[in-house]
Copies of this chain bind each other. A is one copy, B any other.
Amino acid sequence: MKAARLVEFAGPDGLAIEEVLAPVPGPGQIRVQVRATALNRADLLQTMGLYPAPPGVPADIPGLEYAGVVESLGAGVTRWQVGERVMGLVAGGAWAEQLVTHEREGLRIPGQLSFEQAAAIPEAFLTAFDALTLQGGMREGHTVLIHAVGSGVGTAAVQWAKAVGARTVGTARTAAKLERVKALGLDLGLLVDGAAPSFAGQVQANVALELVGGNYLPETIEAMAPGGVVMLVGLTAGITAELSLRTILSRRLRIIGTTLRARSLEEKIAVAEAFAAQVLPYFAAGTIAPVVGSKVPLAGLKGALEAMASNETFGKTVVTL
């Protein structure tokens, strides 16, 4: 099969499209013929050698999400039949024509969505759902602060928060991105200077989706209402920050670091099953929708990664196979 292989840790330039052996589905696993995959910031780190794949997935093929068709079944698989449409998260290996995954991690693609649309769902919406709902305790009436609101996770979070009746406040560094997210349900858009972010005076958030970290986090903490939860999901602005412990203590805040990739199979299955029950019906009803900012073929992967690195993208960048 064809795959985007990491041949050296050199950023996107370290990738080569090569022929490799297809993976073999083990017990309980399905093999998927991938029709579309997508880009994530974690992929950029992986191409630089900063985010190695965990054991059990291909170390040299990045790619964290996919949409495709069940191609064959491992021993004991009961939930899928060959030919069914499936999407999901993997810990690596999705930038390839085929991948294997546990049958209980796969999600059924809602009927009206294309493979390209479906490939834009898993990482963005599972991350937003897991962080805001399962860990952050977001409820109707809450105010939710979402940074990098034009990103894949940001656009997913706005839609999911609106779907459950929360008020959405988002930050971005360009007015054009904020305008585009307003059409998705953003209630208040805050234009932020990345060098000196200042937004704490404009919001009192119950839950924050901290996708940026670094110099944003001190402001995020000041922007929290008593009892608020800061979900620390991304660190594009920096990996350290000087924080006010007094604010964290006196407001009884919770700062929660989270990553989906490092979890055990059982934890991942639990998130996938909660997502299937609680979020997929909204896609089926058309209340929420994946945001495909651009589409490229596998050969266009490098250029698309560079565009993401320079913050030019909106929503998800999908790769077709």
Interface residues of A (CB under 8 A from B): 213-214, 217, 226, 232-233, 235, 238-259, 262
Contacts and interface: CB of A to CB of B under 8 A. Distances in A.
B250 A240 contact: no
Contacts of A238: 245
A205 to B, nearest CB: 15
B259 A250 contact: yes
A113 B38 CA distance: 65
B250 A257 contact: yes
Contacts of A235: 245-246, 249
Most buried by B among A226, A232, A247: A232
Nearest to A213: B245
A301 to B, nearest CB: 25
Given A257-B250, A262-B250, A240 B243 contact: yes
Given A240-B243, A245-B217, A257 B254 contact: yes
A214 B244 CA distance: 10
Contact of A240 (B245, B251, B252, B255): B245
B241 A245 contact: yes
A232 B213 CA distance: 20
B241 A242 contact: yes
Number of copies: 2
Specify the main secondary structure of chain A where it touches its partner.
mixed
Contacts of A256: 252-255
Given A226-B262, A255-B255, A244 B240 contact: yes
Nearest to A226: B262
A10 B130 CA distance: 49
B232 A249 contact: yes
Given A240-B246, A252-B256, 6 more contacts: A226-B262, A235-B249, A249-B257, A250-B257, A252-B258, A254-B256
Nearest to A230: B255
19 contacts: A213-B245, A217-B245, A232-B249, A238-B245, A239-B245, A240-B244, A240-B245, A245-B257, A247-B257, A249-B257, A249-B259, A250-B257, A250-B262, A252-B259, A252-B262, A253-B256, A254-B257, A255-B255, A255-B256
B259 A245 contact: no
A240 B242 contact: yes
A226 to B, nearest CB: 7
A235 B233 CA distance: 26
